[in-house]
A = this chain, B = another copy of it.
Amino acid sequence: MNQVDFWYEFASTYSYPAAMRIEALATARVVEVVWRPFLLGPLFAELGWRDSPFNIYPGKGRYMWRDMHRVCETLGLPLKPPKPFPQNSLLAARIALALEGEARATFSRAVYLAEFGEGATISERSTMMKILKSSGLDATATLAAAETAANKDKLKAASDTAKSIGLPGAPCLVTPDGEIFWGNDRLEQGLDWAARG
């Protein structure tokens, strides 16, 4: 089956609708989605950004939240912006990387729904425990696996890979031939590209 890498960041607003939409779109095109969590922070730091560009440039932030409201309304997704924004996504990303396959996808969607649908604080261990449990996963064992040195290194390596590929933001689809499609708006085109093999 044709594959596509889905690069996402838990602090990224548009990654939320993308994560909720992608599996149905991929199934319709017989494309397998590889869920690849990473951190935008190191990439942003290289650009001189120590905060979300949506906070650094308030006009873009105002536009993005209004647009997110429309996007979520169209998709029937709840939207309650978390405070503070952006959320610290380190723990959630580590947990996602400690999981594999369908468990990683299920957990990731649950994080997005809690964070942007309910305004939950995803940096808190208690929130992560709750999400792991409600996803039918072993919360204690997964948290322990997430915080091993090897798993922490795995997340660093993922973010290094994202940088070396040249991802301009999140979410991104990357096809096996190296095409990058940035944004929730580009899911269809990226999956169409991947489907052509």
Residues of A within 8 A of B (CB): 47, 57, 59-60, 62-63, 66-67, 70, 166-169, 179-183, 185-186, 189
Give, as a whole number of angstroms, the nearest-CB distance from A14 to chain B: 12
Partner of A59 from B62, B168, B189 at Cβ < 8 Å: B168
Question: Is there an interface contact between B185 and A59, defined as CB atoms closer than 8 Å?
Answer: no
5 A-B pairs with the lowest CB-CB distances in the bound complex, closest first: A63-B168, A185-B185, A60-B168, A59-B166, A59-B168
Assembly CA distance A121 to B179 (angstroms): 30
Residues of B within 8 A of A167 (CB): 59
21 chain-A/chain-B pairs, Cβ below 8 angstroms:
A47-B57, A47-B59, A57-B168, A59-B166, A59-B167, A59-B168, A60-B168, A60-B169, A62-B166, A63-B166, A63-B168, A63-B180, A63-B182, A66-B179, A66-B180, A67-B181, A67-B182, A67-B186, A70-B179, A70-B189, A183-B185
Residues of B within 8 A of A57 (CB): 47, 168
Residues of B within 8 A of A180 (CB): 63, 66
Assembly CA distance A63 to B47 (angstroms): 15
Q: Which residue of B has the minimal Cβ distance to A49? A: B57
Q: Which residue of B has the minimal Cβ distance to A166? A: B59
Q: Which residue of B has the minimal Cβ distance to A57? A: B47
Q: Which residue of B has the minimal Cβ distance to A193? A: B70
Assembly CA distance A27 to B106 (angstroms): 43
Assembly CA distance A134 to B167 (angstroms): 41
